[in-house]
Amino acid sequence: MKKVVILGASGYTGAELVRIISGHAFFQIEALVADRKAGQSYEKIFPHCRHLDLPKLVSLNEVDFENIDLVFCALPHATTQTILNGLPKALRIVDLSADFRLTDPKKYEKWYGIPHIAADLQKEAVYGLSEHYRSQIKSARLVACTGCNSAAGLFPLLPLVAKRIINLENIIVDLATGVSGAGRASKEEMLHAEISEGFSAYNVARHRHLAEFDQELSKAAGTEVEISFTPHLIPQNRGILATIYAIGSADEIHAELNDAYQDEPFVIVLPYGEVPSTKHVRGSNYCHIGVVKDRTFNRTILFSALDNLTKGSAGQAVQNANLMFGFDETEGLMMAPIFP
């Protein structure tokens, strides 16, 4: 059994890590860290975990990292850099924040509005899109899990951009996400009364996940790629659906995606013409991808659905941890979606 610490255990991704790890054969939770809720029982803040035998929440300085094998870090950006800077240098870390996703610290500063203060750690970090960075993740000490929206967009786009099967100049990612991605912080705009029965866009043309799209797509294409990205908020808790408009042959696109993901346990390409739903991946680590031919302009419409808390975050994190420790990549992650 590998001993695990979760930093930021009182948020939704923290809780999702606990849910997944509670069914994992080789990870064992040693400490749950949440500074502002230190001293409270975990079931007090997450009563759905009442049946689990979990340690109390503690503050960071109460943790003895001596015997710890792995840290999952689910803290807000910026805070993350400070805290990871202070941890023992040998510790393996799977970070779920935005702090180590961008290889260029200047890009971080541009998109997040503050200088990066852990440039050394950044050099070590591997981008955590398991299916595309598998070999690097296996030997990484620090893995930076992707943004949930970025994951949804990159799964269909990366293979197509790499092989230049789609036009690089006209890629539109129109996306809708459930509210759990906004976290458990108390914000007026996230109240049930504000969200329910409403649908709208936010951070149009300036969402920070654009920086990840730019970085990863440019890298795959071998040239600068800039996409359009419009996220919307769905009145539901979990799930992301990306609707992607690209210029290219639908047949070729479907064939290429089939090829790219045929051996992947978690990325499933639907039969040509079928469309995925967030409802069909809820609570699971699966990503469903659909390809439909548009009627005009050689355009193809791609769809990608995943659960933002699972494949988009905590599930991806555990998948990466499995890779880092040489476990079966699917360990703890085979739970079927919950429907309805």
Q: What is the rounded radius of gyration, in angstroms, for the C-alpha atoms of the chain? A: 19
Nearer to a second copy (CB atom), residue 139 or residue 296: 296
Stretch that binds a second copy, among 70-78, 84-92, 234-242, 317-325 (CB under 8 A): 234-242
* Cβ atoms < 10 Å from Cβ of 64: 9
- What is the rounded distance in angstroms from the CA atom of residue 333 to the CA atom of residue 23? 8
Q: Is 200 in the site for a second copy (CB under 8 A)?
A: yes
Beta carbons within 8 Å of 291's beta carbon, 6+ residues apart:
250, 253, 254, 257, 269, 270, 272, 273, 300, 301, 302, 303
Closest separation in Å from C-beta 320 to a second copy: 20
State the catalytic residue, choosing from 49, 145, 148, 287: 148
- What is the rounded distance in angstroms from the CA atom of residue 155 to the CA atom of residue 36? 36
Nearer to a second copy (CB atom), residue 159 or residue 283: 283
Stretch that binds a second copy, among 64-72, 159-167, 224-232, 319-327 (CB under 8 A): 224-232
Of 42, 72, 127, 303, the one binding a second copy by CB under 8 A: 303
Q: Is 295 in the site for a second copy (CB under 8 A)?
A: yes
Q: Residue 188: what residue type?
A: E
Burial (CB count <10 Å: 0-12, 13-18, 19+), residue 271:
exposed
Under rule CB under 8 A, how many of the chain's residues touch a second copy? 90
Nearer to a second copy (CB atom), residue 36 or residue 89: 36
Q: Is 107 in the site for a second copy (CB under 8 A)?
A: no
Known active-site residue 148: yes
Residues 247, 297: contact at Cβ < 8 Å?
Answer: yes
Give, as ranges, the residues between 247 and 286 that touch a second copy (CB under 8 A): 265, 268, 270, 275-284, 286
Closest separation in Å from C-beta 129 to a second copy: 19
Of 102, 195, 317, 318, the one binding a second copy by CB under 8 A: 195
Residue where the block lists tokens 């990871």: 84
Q: Is 35 in the site for a second copy (CB under 8 A)?
A: no
Residue where the block lists tokens 């910026």: 78
The helix-helix angle for 315-325 and 12-21 (nearest 10°) equals 50
Q: Residue 258: phi, psi to the nearest 5?
A: -55, -45
Give, as ranges, the residues between 153 and 182 that touch a second copy (CB under 8 A): 169-170, 172, 174, 176, 178-180, 182
Of 209, 254, 288, 311, the one binding a second copy by CB under 8 A: 288
Closest separation in Å from C-beta 133 to a second copy: 22
Q: Is 226 in the site for a second copy (CB under 8 A)?
A: yes
Q: Is 116 in the site for a second copy (CB under 8 A)?
A: no
CA 165 remoteness from chain centre: 25
Q: Which one, of 87, 88, 84, 86, lies nearest residue 144 by Cα?
A: 84
Closest separation in Å from C-beta 319 to a second copy: 14
Q: Is 118 in the site for a second copy (CB under 8 A)?
A: no
For 102-108, the CB contacts below 8 A with 24+ separation are 102/211, 102/212, 102/215, 103/127, 103/215, 104/215, 107/211, 107/214, 107/215, 108/211
Stretch that binds a second copy, among 31-39, 121-129, 147-155, 301-309 (CB under 8 A): 301-309
Stretch that binds a second copy, among 153-161, 252-260, 296-304, 314-322 (CB under 8 A): 296-304
Beta carbons within 8 Å of 197's beta carbon, 6+ residues apart:
235
Residues catalogued as catalytic = 148
